[in-house]
Amino acid sequence: MRVLVTGGAGYIGSHTLIELLGQAHEVCVLDNFHNSRPVVLDRVRSLTNGKVTSVTGDVRDRGALDALMDDFAPQAVIHFAGLKAVGESQRQPVDYYDVNVTGTLTLLRAMDRIGCRRIIFSSSATVYGEPVYLPYDEAHPTAPLSVYGRTKLMAEEVLTDWARATPEATAVLLRYFNPVGAHASARLGEDPADYPNNLMPFIAQVAVGKRDELQVFGDDYPTDDGTGERDYIHVVDLARAHVAAVDWAESNTGARAFNIGTGQPYSVYQMVEAFRRASGHPIPLRVAPRRDGDVARMQADSRRAEAEMGWRATHTLDDMAASTWAWQSGNPDGYGG
């Protein structure tokens, strides 16, 4: 299929390009490189020998989208382009609604103009908010705790209404848990522009000596070792979920949400220990106060994705740690090195 990938130069997008090309899909990327670099696409090309056309542009730019739709005529769109930092979203809500919600609306209008009826959307487990029960299944109430989470839920609602009103339309809402890890080649990985907000890239930077110590945000949660637990998902498994979703969209219509996780949560201390094993380096740490808005535990029930799309995570915790370490140690300055 011809697949337009918005935000395809980003962390998850780049890994997804590799998996799409591996299944003989044709891809075209739209990215404004707000949080990525063009060199990422060169690395994807060199890893696949695949044809990756790309357009530098903003997903809110209707003119750029219309031109791209006319040239490439996608049969499906995977929509990664967006802003994703929870803390920043609280300080810059208008930017987040604009990129994440207006961007989705603009994309839908451009798709409608050429009759493209399939979209795979990057949603997040953060739409659920404080757990009412665990593991979260897709029927769990949605009550996001941040502006970022609300932009994702709002985009899901837009896509759901679009699919309801548009014959033949398919909207696959992939609710990612915590993506970590890197490509087996160690040529693609997560390259936080600034101070890493997330646990795994932070641990990796401590192990490689770029940061002195990890702050553990709270050790008094009601979990086995007192630190926060998350459902970490290897980015290659997550990338493959997008290929499964493209296949699913070929023979299904309507809007459907799918959790994408492993079902196995790990604590901060377990992640640190796995990283120590993988890197052979000490990870100095210090217990700090809880971070605002954090929940004790997140855990996915991903049985729907397995039953309906035939997708299941296969990578282990050690795969996540080892691939992150290979990427971080081989590219200490990320793509800027």
User: Which residue number places its CB atom closest to ligand NAD?
Assistant: 10
Distance CA 79, CA 72 (A): 16
Cβ neighbors of 290 (< 8 A, separation 6 or more) are 217, 218, 220, 221
What is the full DSSP assignment across 85-149? -HHHHHH-HHHHHIIIIIHHHHHHHHHHHHT--EEEEEEEGGGT-S-SSSSB-TTS----SSHHH
Q: Does residue 10 belong to the site contacting ligand NAD (CB under 6 A)? A: yes
Which one of ligand NAD, ligand UDP, none interacts with residue 268, CB within 5 to 8 A by kind?
Answer: ligand UDP
Q: 304: how many CB neighbours lie within 10 A of its CB?
A: 16
216, 243, 257, 283: residue in contact with ligand UDP (rule CB under 6 A):
216
By CB under 6 A, tell whether 268 contacts ligand UDP.
yes
CB of 121 to ligand NAD, least distance (A): 8
Question: 42 - beta bridge partners?
Answer: none
Known catalytic membership, residue 128: no
The answer to whether 142 touches 124, Cβ cutoff 8 Å, is no
β 76-79/52-56 pair status: unpaired
Nearest CA to 298 out of 133, 90, 146 is that of 133
Assigned token pair, 164: 């309801």
Nearest approach in angstroms of CB 232 to ligand UDP is 8
Least distance in angstroms from the C-beta of 298 to ligand UDP: 6
- Report, in Å, the least distance between residue 280 CB and ligand NAD: 26
Q: Is 198 in the site for ligand UDP (CB under 6 A)?
A: yes
CB 17 within 8 A of CB 90: no
Q: What are phi and psi of 13, to 5 degrees?
A: -60, -45
Task: Pick between residue 67 and residue 295 the one whose CB is nearest to ligand UDP.
Answer: 295
84 binds, among ligand NAD, ligand UDP, none (CB under 5 to 8 A by kind): ligand NAD
Structure-block tokens of residue 191: 């390259």
Catalytic one among 96, 136, 148, 221? Answer: 148
Torsion-angle region of 209 (φ positive above 0: left; ψ -120 to 50: alpha; else: beta): left
33 or 217, CB closer to ligand UDP?
Answer: 217
Choose one: 29-37, 158-166, 241-249, 278-286; the region binding ligand NAD (CB under 6 A): 29-37
Binder of ligand NAD out of 44, 69, 75, 84 (CB under 6 A): 84
Among 82, 129, 201, 218, binds ligand NAD (CB under 6 A): 82
Site residues (CB under 6 A) for ligand NAD, limited to 131-190: 176, 179
Of 40-48, 52-60, 213-221, 306-314: span binding ligand UDP (CB under 6 A): 213-221
Active-site annotation, residues: 148
**Which spans of this chain sit near ligand UDP (rule: CB under 6 A)?**
178, 197-199, 202, 214-217, 228, 230, 268, 291, 294
